[in-house]
A and B are shown apart, each in its own frame.
Chain A
Amino acid sequence: MPENGTPAPGPQDSVAPPAAPVQQLRKAVVVGGNRIPFARTGGAYAKSSNQDMLTAALDGLIARFGLQDERIGEVAAGAVLKHSRDFNLTREAVLGSALSAETPAYDLQQACATGLETVLGLANKIKLGQIDSAIAGGVDSASDAPIAVSEGLREILLDLNRAKTLPQRLQILSRIRPKDLAPDAPNTGEPRTGLSMGEHQALTTAQWKITREAQDELAYNSHRNLAAAYDDGFFDELITPYRGLSRDSNLRPDTTLEKLATLKPVFGKNLGAEATMTAGNSTPLTDGAATVLLASEEWADAHDLPKLATVLDGEAAAVDFVHGKDGLLMAPVFAVPRLLARHGLTFDDIDFFEIHEAFAGTVLSTLAAWEDEEFCRTRLGLDGALGTVDRAKLNVNGSSLAAGHPFAATGGRIVASLATMLHRKGTVDGRPARGLISVCAAGGQGVVAILEAH
């Protein structure tokens, strides 16, 4: 609790004038971010709940920007693996943080796109003049995952609750069978196909003929770039340590292509020689939380806060992976050209590409699709290939393969890092530096966004 935790009672609206509705859209700027280091599941955060981690990430953000007792317009965050008791996860985290208890909050859930979607939704509210400030974020713990009772036991328990007499209750209890007592743990399987995310990606990886070497090289670059960013102090303004961890525990600064080449495939093993996806070029299960402070330009100025980047726009897409039309994680392939077209932009106008590394194969399949003339003509409705992403602009400070991927926290990690990179870059050929974010998600979904240096 802050020292002066009990504010003087008074009407909330006396704290600040309400945001005014606007005729013309305002800008929504990224002020900065804060996350805790990501930890491999079962590691440093094994005993931390989603609420603990989200609160820690919020408190670090509050400390960095001096937001103690501030009433923020709205806080939105979410978790993919969520306990039913956490129905108000974000609001509870706000109440446990140093923010004003009068800060409203809501939970959002869109699988791995949760974090980016909170940024886009809140940025839109700022642009519309509904709020002046916002905190977006996400958290996930695969260590502290919810475990449910089996469907059979759940039905019995609900029936028991409805029973009125003792004989009825005994009769219901007698229905319990040993198999009903097995707990139901969450998994990454798609409900409609029964395939895990990795197995789905293995099909896509094979379809786009992505080699093992290319995947290992992408993973290697991710570790190398992330390690260099840490050594540069890039994360000094983006991370607050937590539970003894001050760097992402999945990071292997000394990994080599040779070491990565020794790993055995873990997905797509039924593909035989085409099995290319290993634990090295797939993201591990991870725990962590990330937050992003968003604001109108006026609010940032009034609070003497930096304006790193503007949230230009975002786009969501989904694919029909159920019937095999597209790969499970290929939705961003469709979202990006739509978003670029809306702003008359091409890949030449983008200075940083932040493509979430769910699997190295996902990134490489995505890039391959955009380079494929036939695919771009027939499926994206373009005149030819969308273009080639300059590898020198891709995930330059590392991405999920090295940092890890606590599902809902990844969007916040990317937005805060990209905003910092854009701010440092400033302008390119007289225009603001620009960055593209692409995040794939379960259920065949994807959310993408463009940020510009302020």
Chain B
Amino acid sequence: MTDKYTQFVSRGLGRDIAKKLGLPQPVELRRYRPGQPLIEGPILVQGAGAGADELAAALLAWDLDVRRHAVPREKLGAIILVLDEVARPEDLERPVLTAAASLRDLASGGRVVTISRSAAEATDPAAAAARQGVDGLLRSLAKELRAGATGNGIVLTDGARTTSPGTLGALRFFLSGRSAFVDGQFLTVTSDAGELPADPEKPLTGKVAAVTGAARGIGAAIARTLHRDGATVIVIDIPAAGDHLAAVANEVHGTALQLDITREDAGQRIIDHAVQRHGRLDIVVHNAGITRDKLLANMDQSRWSSVIGVNIAAQLRINEALLASEHFRTSPRIVSVASTSGIAGNRGQTNYAASKGGVMGMVRATAPLLAEHGGSINAVAPGFIETEMTAKIPFATREVARRLNSLQQGGRPGDVAEAIAFLASDAAGGISGEVLRVCGQNLVGA
């Protein structure tokens, strides 16, 4: 269900009024459903060079309607702007302005995806400028897109190509309805690691995944999405949430593990449960989190320590157990839930933001440790998501909060879950140490 305002302005009189008054006009986003085509309409691959040619060939192999030249006034499903060869800022002009001519033909729910090289790796100042320029370009363009269209970018480091599994995996994610609420974001592909799924509808077949905080909200959505994608799911939550947890477990045909993740032996308990009941453990999603909001001037010890304890200390301790375990060695995946509060800050949430900032630091430093085993760790930072928790925010505050992004609406728990399911998949093998925001390009914290 979309919110009432979105329903009102999406048709008839409401649409006309909103248009005349210049009010936000959010639309219902194109969200993934099994059986849905990757994208409706032709895909324009813009850009000259071997990288663009190879990418176009790879997309053709997926039986997509790929165009190298736009036909004016023909609706496009997506525009892929391949900028991997730009060496100087001036090099951006031609491909960017050519693509610009097609922007008005982008269908609602369409996609713009840039593919460029890492500015951090450029030693030549002009190349660094050109590459970094893509960042500003894409983020601004994403804010100009309307009608549920999004713009996101893929950054390649020296070890990655336009046709690396990670690049194609990220591209599929950005083109599909799975990325509906991801806007103005970049994913960096660092290697040729990873593998595209045999069945794109079931990318997690054969995998065993553990999800913490799975009794309700975003955690329950993650469990459902991983199950839908083919994984066997272990749902974990504190014993007091056991009744909701059991309902989720039974819905996703998984097993329920009532466990306080702050327990010293939590990591081992998760591994033992996974190995005994399901024979393996491939994916761990650190979703459990709490808020104990208070201005720092009024903060007490228990508010501070409980938030740090659950949101980051427990994750670190569980990861230590995972890294030490021989049962977590075959392309293991860890995905943590961070928060845009940890990036942009949020009044009254010093403890929470410290813990979520901590998650991002942990992810960056853990990535090389998992790389040894072909593993990866990433974080997803949700923005305003419509949950039981955000439903308790006073009406006016909530109404403002959910409009403050490029898509002018709140995300759904399932949107966060889709990003996590992608990062947990083999296709995301070449992506590690990253933080992907699922925030509709929130205007704060850019």
Contact = CB atoms under 8 A, between A and B. Distances in A.
B242 A68 contact: no
Interface in B252-280: 252-256, 258-260, 263, 276-279
A64 B249 CA distance: 8
Interface in A226-275: 233, 235-237, 239-243, 246
B276 A60 contact: no
Contact of A3 (B240, B241, B252, B263): B252
Contacts of A306: 276
A304 B277 CA distance: 5
A59 B250 contact: yes
Contact of A60 (B246, B251, B254, B263): B246
Given A66-B277, A246-B239, A237 B255 contact: no
Contact of B250 (A62, A235, A237, A304): A62
A373 B147 CA distance: 90
Contacts of A56: 243
Nearest to B227: A3
A60 B249 CA distance: 9
A323 B127 CA distance: 103
A241 B241 contact: yes
A59 B277 contact: no
Interface residues on B, range: 20 to 34
B127 to A, nearest CB: 51
Nearest to B232: A66
Nearest to B252: A3
A240 B243 contact: yes
Contacts of A62: 246, 249-250
B246 A63 contact: yes
B296 interface: no
A145 B276 CA distance: 42
Contact of B263 (A65, A66, A233, A237): A233
Given A63-B245, A63-B256, A236-B259, A241 B239 contact: yes
Contacts of B258: 236-237, 240
Nearest to B253: A68
Interface in B206-261: 239-243, 245-247, 249-256, 258-260
Contacts of B255: 63-66
A19 B373 CA distance: 43
A2 interface: yes
Contacts of B279: 304
Contact of B242 (A2, A3, A69, A239): A239
A240 B250 CA distance: 13
A246 B241 CA distance: 8
B217 to A, nearest CB: 17
23 contacts: A2-B250, A4-B253, A59-B246, A60-B242, A60-B256, A62-B246, A63-B247, A63-B250, A66-B254, A66-B255, A68-B249, A69-B253, A233-B260, A233-B263, A236-B259, A239-B242, A240-B243, A246-B240, A246-B242, A304-B277, A304-B278, A304-B279, A306-B276
9 residue pairs, one from A and one from B, having the closest CB atoms: A63-B246, A63-B249, A63-B256, A98-B250, A66-B255, A240-B242, A246-B240, A68-B253, A60-B246
Interface of B: 239-243, 245-247, 249-256, 258-260, 263, 276-279
Interface of A: 2-4, 56, 59-60, 62-66, 68-69, 98, 233, 235-237, 239-243, 246, 304-306
